[in-house]
Structures are given as C-alpha cells and as structure tokens.
C-alpha cells in the first residue's frame, strides 16, 4: 500500500486524480497493532478493520464518487458500490495452506474476501503463479491481471551501527529478512548453514532479521532458537529481531548473499530488493520465486537441505559465479521499479475508460 501511494505521487498521470483515505506517511507511523498482542488487542483490531472496511469505506465512496476503488489488502466492501473495484489478492495462501491459520479466523477472512467480490470487480495479483493459484480456488468469474510489485523504497540513511553491534564485516554473512512463518523454511536454512560451516570451516555468519510468525500455527521462531542452541550456532546465526529501515539498508549493503528458502510465496519481494543492492540470491525453486528471479538467482530444490547446502558452498567458492550473479541481478531488479509498478496500475485504471 505504501509503495503504491508513494509511486502515485512521484509519477503522476495527467488523467488520474488520487484520493487517499488516509495520509500514508502518518498512517504508517501507527504502531498500535505491531508486535506481540493480547487476544483483546487482536479482537479490537479485527473489529476496527471490519467497521472501517464494511461501513466507513463505503460511506467515503458515496462522498467522493470515485471511478475506481483500489483495495490493496484482499478485501473489498460487501456493500454494492457504483464504481469499479480493483481488489489486490497477493497470493492464495488462505486456500493452499489452511494448516497455517486459526480455523475461525481463516473462515472469517475468506468470507470477507468472497463477499467483496461484487459487481465490476477486477482482481490484481502479483505473479502468473499467483494468478493460476487464485483461479484454481476462485474460478474465472472475475478478470485477473498481474502487476509486479516494487520493493520498499529504503530512503532512510544507512545505519552502519548495526554492523558493529552484530560484529559483522563486509561480505561476512548470509542474510534473510522476514517473519519466521513456517512456509519460510528457516529451520531448513539453519541446518544447511550449520553444515556449511562444518564442511567449509568458513567464518561467515547468518543473519535472520524479523519477528515471530503471525500465529502459533505459523510461528517457527521457537524451533529456530532451539536448533541454534542444539547445533552450537549461537555465535554464528544471529537473530536481531525487527530493525529500522536504516539498519536493514546497512545489512543489505554489507552482506555476502541473500538466501530465500521459502516453500510458498505469491511474489517474493526480497529477491528484487536484494538484487537491487547488488547481492547474489540463492532461492528455492518455488514457482513465484523462479518467475521473479528470472534466471538471475541460484535456485535449489524446495525443501532439499543438501541441495541448499551445495548451492551455498558453490557460491562461496566460485568468485566468478558470484560476480556474474551480481551483474544479472542488478539488471533483473530494474524490472520492478516504482515507475513500472505505478504505470501498470495507471494502465489498468484507464483501460476501461478507453473501452467505454
């Protein structure tokens, strides 16, 4: 949502006027529901969300009378509206991986999604893989278009203090950024890296940035912490938690490579993000990641610890491979610019008008 709002303002179109329901820079500062929460806090969040989406937003549509309503978070209002709807459904995880969500919450959220697929609805998704996955579960009743996302614009100054704090040096560590959701396969990465250190004797480290998964079913952080302890990797595998944009920027600038072992992604923003910083990327051969990497990454068989280990050793020992991947990645990352992202939305917004 933030990147869409920023790009809309940075690359205006003379035929399009944007109306924001919230001031983006102010809204993003709200930390009310971030991090560990009580059941009461989570319930309050869902009640606030329901009230906003189903009552306040339709009232704003009636007030401003837009031609197009963009809902970038899966859910459009259930109420009948006079305008076109562009509803962004990023992935099909709710259908594909039911075991990762509380049963009542999944049922409730899927109900909201389906009720919002009303008249004049068009679905926007992030990759061809996601399009195929969504069609499998929702059918072909609504047109689905693919618009590639743009990575977060890390405008903050690079905060090099995080490098000193974690006792890191240039190109001395592998990097992963994201929550510890089960689908991210971080226990696999921990075990592969422990084998990498044992076999090569390397002094490289692994930095896993981020917080716990969104629910008990999804959270692999306790398992990762236990594995690190059992494998004697406390000095080699670092868990700094949530970091600021400046700290993340510094970690990207100084890493040796990015590793992305996820078993399921709708897009995989860290791939173009890391490539944009000139990092070689090792990723699973999951369909969306292969699509986004476009051959510029080094893929391994999803879930195969030995194959991941082999690719890490290969990248560590082959300097020419490393340099070639950096160059290819830089070129590939340009396909995911903020300008291309917003131009795709602009085209979608205007195309109905041209037909009519």
pLDDT, residue 154, reads 82
Residue-wise pLDDT tens digits, 189-232: 999 999 999 999 999 999 999 988 777 778 899 999 999 999 99
Residue 159 has pLDDT above 60, yes or no: yes
Residue 155 lies in a domain: no
Same domain, 132 and 94: yes
CB 351: neighbour CB atoms within 10 A?
12
- CA 130 vs. chain centroid, Å, equals 13
Give the span between the Cα atoms of 132 and 273, in whole angstroms.
Answer: 24
Same domain, 12 and 109: yes
pLDDT, residue 39, reads 77
Residue 156 lies in a domain: no
DSSP state of 157: P
- The encoded tokens of residue 282 equal 């090792």
pLDDT, residue 356, reads 46
Structural domain including 185 reads 161-336
Same domain, 254 and 267: yes
Work out the end-to-end distance of the chain between its first and last CA atoms, rounded to an integer number of angstroms: 28
pLDDT, residue 100, reads 80
Residue 210 lies in a domain: yes
Q: What is the reported pTM? A: 0.90
Same domain, 187 and 327: yes
Q: Of residues 195 and 102, which shows the higher confidence score?
A: 195
Residue 36 has pLDDT above 60, yes or no: no
Asked whether 267 and 126 are in contact (CB, 8 A), the reply is yes
Give the span between the Cα atoms of 99 and 214, in whole angstroms.
Answer: 13
Same domain, 264 and 142: no
User: What is the tally of structural domains in the chain?
Assistant: 2
Same domain, 169 and 305: yes
Residue 61 lies in a domain: yes
Same domain, 311 and 351: no
Same domain, 119 and 184: no
Residue 104 banded pLDDT, cuts 50, 70, 90: confident
Residue 42 has pLDDT above 60, yes or no: yes
Same domain, 107 and 256: no
| Domain harbouring 198, CATH code | 3.40.50.2000
**Average of per-residue pLDDT values in the chain:** 93
Q: Of residues 25 and 109, which shows the higher confidence score?
A: 109
Q: Point out which residues pair with 145 in neighbouring strands.
A: 124
Mean pLDDT for the stretch of residues 111-128 = 93
Same domain, 291 and 276: yes
Same domain, 108 and 11: yes
Same domain, 145 and 204: no
Residue 157 has pLDDT above 60, yes or no: yes
Residue 126 has pLDDT above 90, yes or no: yes
Mean pLDDT for the stretch of residues 41-53 = 88
| Domain harbouring 36, CATH code | 3.40.50
Q: Point out which residues pair with 251 in neighbouring strands.
A: none
Mean pLDDT for the stretch of residues 5-19 = 95
């Amino acid at each position: 949502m933030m990147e869409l709002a920023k790009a809309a303002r940075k690359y205006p179109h003379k035929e399009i006027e944007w109306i924001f329901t919230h001031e983006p820079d102010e809204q993003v500062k709200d930390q009310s529901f971030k991090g560990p929460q009580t059941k009461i806090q989570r319930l309050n969040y869902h009640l606030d969300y329901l009230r906003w989406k189903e009552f306040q937003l339709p009232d704003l549509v009636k007030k401003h009378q837009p031609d197009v309503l963009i809902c970038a978070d899966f859910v459009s209002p259930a109420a009948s509206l006079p305008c076109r709807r562009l509803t962004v459904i990023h992935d099909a995880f709710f259908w594909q991986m039911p075991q990762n969500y509380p049963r009542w919450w999944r049922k409730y959220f899927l109900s909201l999604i389906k009720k919002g697929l009303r008249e004049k609805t068009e679905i926007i998704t992030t990759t061809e893989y996601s399009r195929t996955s969504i069609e499998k579960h929702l059918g072909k009743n609504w047109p689905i278009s693919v618009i590639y996302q743009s990575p977060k614009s890390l405008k903050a100054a690079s905060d090099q203090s995080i490098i000193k704090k974690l006792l890191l040096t240039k190109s001395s560590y592998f990097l992963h950024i994201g929550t510890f959701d089960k689908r991210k396969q971080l226990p696999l990465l921990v075990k592969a890296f422990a084998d990498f250190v044992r076999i090569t004797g390397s002094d490289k480290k692994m930095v896993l940035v981020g917080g716990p998964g969104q629910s008990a079913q999804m959270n692999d952080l306790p398992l990762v912490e236990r594995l690190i302890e059992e494998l004697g990797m406390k000095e080699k595998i670092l868990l700094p938690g949530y970091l600021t944009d400046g700290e993340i920027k510094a970690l990207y600038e100084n890493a040796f490579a990015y590793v992305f072992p996820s078993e399921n992604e709708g897009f995989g923003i860290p791939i173009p993000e890391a490539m944009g910083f000139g990092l070689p990327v090792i990723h699973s051969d999951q369909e969306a990641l292969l699509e986004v990497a476009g051959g510029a990454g080094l893929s391994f068989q999803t879930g195969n610890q030995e194959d991941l280990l082999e690719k890490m050793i290969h990248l560590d020992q082959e300097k020419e491979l490393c340099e070639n991947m950096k160059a290819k990645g830089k070129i590939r990352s340009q396909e995911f610019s903020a300008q291309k992202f917003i131009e795709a939305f602009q085209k979608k917004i205007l195309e109905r008008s041209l037909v009519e």
